[in-house]
């Protein structure tokens, strides 16, 4: 091999490594908004909080990222892209350690805010750095959009796996070394190889950045159904272990990874519309599940992942194609996406908690009937009723009951036959609760589907504009 060829090969290897590092950082930042969802039930238990409060573990990150993006854009001229990426990764990694050692919800939320600020820095800096290492013919915005879509999709499955094998804190303790590896990779690369790009982005003929960002916000709001609600359903209601739930949720990144490659460089109007429709259909399908149907859930999540791969990739690419520096384009697109997640959580969470409480009330009469009609001795039955009433009285809003504290003490005092009857009764009550509560997710999931469907009229505005231009051109 000649010296020139060896140098070229070595340069390609360095460029590919830097390209992978930046894309990894983008994926890490976007995954962090969703990576904790499968750990939320465990966080609720260990930090003695509620579902409605633990949502702030997600929302704090999103809000801080938006604020961080706006602040960084104002000071972007004084901080180069490479330094911003290093600062973002460092802040993100240190905050991850802080999240891992948090022993109360307040400290965890505070550290998530710091993580969001770090995420803002690295997301804003990542697009110009990707442009600096892109190969001829490659689109940096398409690569950025693809990394963002994959990161958002893979977050829940990765978080569920870590939660099952270790603990919810492992999610954050794993993020810290991941950020450190990215820092080392950036420092190892020559400074000139990370050149900033400040020229205008590629002009998209069929969709401008304004409408693309609006559509991206609505799409992200709809994703709350696939990335949050269905996780609560799998773990809290269907009682799947985190690793089993991660296996179900992995349908999303599998479909996203396959479809995002198909969508790269394609029309955001066409693929954004098809993707939003697929996401809505998937959410509708989840919303009409009436009991534990894992196979149907996997199918619905495959549709959601396909929609994410098609729409998120093309809309993000279009949103970053307008005028302004690469930092500005990456910043506003990141803010639009996080604003959608916040919007979805703010609207869906109170609806979800309200419907969950109503479901508990609807389940009370059939549960009472099952207990009263159970063929059990009077004394154990009376003690069981007292235990169930105590659980009901002390149950926080938006939480599901754990029946073991009522059944276990009674079961320990009776003979084998009565214990068997108690177990059968507990299973019947659990099935009643599961079916009733599963149906209570319907309204929230349908709201998320409506968010996804609202992408279609937004994109149709551009179609109307293009049609008018054609008519004027003919005249």
Give the model confidence (pLDDT) of 253-289 as tens digits: 888 888 887 877 788 888 999 999 999 999 999 998 8
* Span of 56-65, 118-127, 132-141, 159-168 with lowest mean pLDDT: 132-141
Structure tokens at 378: 């009077």
pLDDT band for position 78 (cuts 50, 70, 90): low
Looking at residue 197, its pLDDT comes to 46
Is the predicted pLDDT of residue 15 greater than 60, yes or no?
A: no
pLDDT average, residue stretch 384-411: 80
Q: What is the value of pTM for the model shown?
A: 0.80
Residue 383: CA count within 13 A, CB half-sphere: 15
Is the predicted pLDDT of residue 195 greater than 80, yes or no?
A: no
Torsion angle of alpha carbons 232, 167, 251, 458, nearest 10°? 60
Looking at residue 447, its pLDDT comes to 95
pLDDT average, residue stretch 31-36: 73
pLDDT average, residue stretch 377-393: 84
Is the alpha carbon torsion for 78, 84, 87, 91 positive or negative?
positive
* 207 three-class SS: coil
Is the predicted pLDDT of residue 229 greater than 80, yes or no?
A: yes
The overall average pLDDT reported for the chain is 79
Q: How far apart are CA 318 and CA 307, in angstroms?
A: 16
Say which DSSP state 321 is in: S
Looking at residue 2, its pLDDT comes to 42
pLDDT average, residue stretch 102-117: 91
pLDDT average, residue stretch 242-253: 84
Q: How far apart are CA 93 and CA 88, in angstroms?
A: 8
pLDDT band for position 335 (cuts 50, 70, 90): confident
pLDDT band for position 144 (cuts 50, 70, 90): low
* Span of 5-9, 13-17, 88-92, 450-454 with lowest mean pLDDT: 5-9
> For residues 51 and 397, which has the higher predicted lDDT (pLDDT)?
51
CB neighbour class for 343 (10 Å; exposed up to 12, middle 13-18, buried from 19): middle
Structure tokens at 198: 């400040």
* 244 three-class SS: helix
Q: Rg of the chain over CA atoms, in angstroms?
A: 25
Looking at residue 377, its pLDDT comes to 86
pLDDT band for position 98 (cuts 50, 70, 90): very high
Of 156, 218, 196, nearest to 344 by C-alpha is: 218
């Amino acid at each position: 091999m000649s010296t020139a060829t060896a140098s070229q090969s070595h340069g390609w290897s360095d460029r590919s490594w830097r390209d992978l590092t930046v894309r990894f950082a983008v994926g890490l930042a976007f995954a962090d908004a969703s990576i904790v969802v499968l750990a939320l039930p465990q966080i609720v238990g260990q930090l003695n909080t509620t579902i409605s409060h633990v949502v702030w573990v997600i929302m704090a990150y999103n809000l801080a990222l938006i604020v961080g993006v706006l602040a960084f854009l104002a000071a972007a001229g004084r901080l180069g892209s490479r330094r911003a990426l290093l600062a973002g990764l460092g802040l993100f990694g240190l905050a991850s350690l802080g999240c891992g050692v948090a022993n109360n919800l307040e400290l965890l939320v505070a550290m998530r805010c710091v993580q969001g600020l770090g995420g803002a820095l690295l997301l804003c800096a990542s697009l110009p750095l990707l442009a600096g290492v892109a190969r001829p013919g490659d689109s940096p915005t398409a690569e950025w959009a693809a990394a963002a879509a994959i990161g958002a999709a893979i977050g829940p499955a990765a978080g569920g796996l870590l939660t099952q094998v270790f603990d919810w804190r492992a999610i954050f303790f794993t993020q810290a070394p991941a950020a450190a590896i990215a820092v080392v990779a950036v420092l190892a690369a020559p400074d000139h190889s990370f050149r900033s790009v400040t020229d205008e982005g590629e002009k998209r003929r069929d969709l401008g950045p304004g409408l693309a960002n609006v559509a991206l916000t609505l799409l992200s709001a709809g994703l709350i159904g696939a990335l949050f609600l269905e996780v609560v359903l799998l773990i809290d209601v269907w009682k799947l272990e985190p690793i089993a739930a991660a296996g179900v949720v992995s349908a999303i990144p599998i479909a996203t990874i396959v479809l995002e490659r198909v969508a790269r460089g394609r029309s955001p109007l066409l693929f954004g519309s098809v993707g939003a429709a697929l996401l809505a259909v998937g959410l509708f399908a989840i919303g009409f599940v009436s009991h534990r149907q894992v196979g149907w859930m996997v199918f619905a999540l495959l549709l959601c992942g396909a929609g994410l791969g098609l729409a998120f990739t093309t809309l993000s690419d279009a949103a970053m194609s307008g005028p302004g520096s690469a930092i500005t384009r990456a910043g506003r697109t990141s803010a639009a996406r996080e604003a959608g997640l916040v919007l979805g959580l703010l609207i869906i969470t109170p609806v979800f908690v309200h419907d969950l409480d109503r479901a508990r009330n609807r389940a009370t009469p059939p549960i009472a009937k099952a207990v009263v009609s159970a063929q059990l001795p009077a004394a154990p039955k009376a003690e069981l009723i007292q235990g169930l009433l105590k659980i009901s009285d002390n149950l926080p809003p938006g939480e599901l009951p754990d029946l073991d504290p009522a059944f276990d003490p009674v079961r320990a005092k009776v003979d084998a036959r009565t214990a068997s009857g108690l177990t059968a009764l507990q299973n019947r009550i659990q099935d009643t609760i599961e079916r009733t509560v599963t149906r209570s997710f319907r309204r929230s999931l349908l709201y998320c589907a409506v968010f996804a469907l609202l992408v279609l009229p937004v994109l149709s505005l551009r179609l109307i504009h293009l049609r008018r231009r054609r008519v004027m051109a003919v005249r």
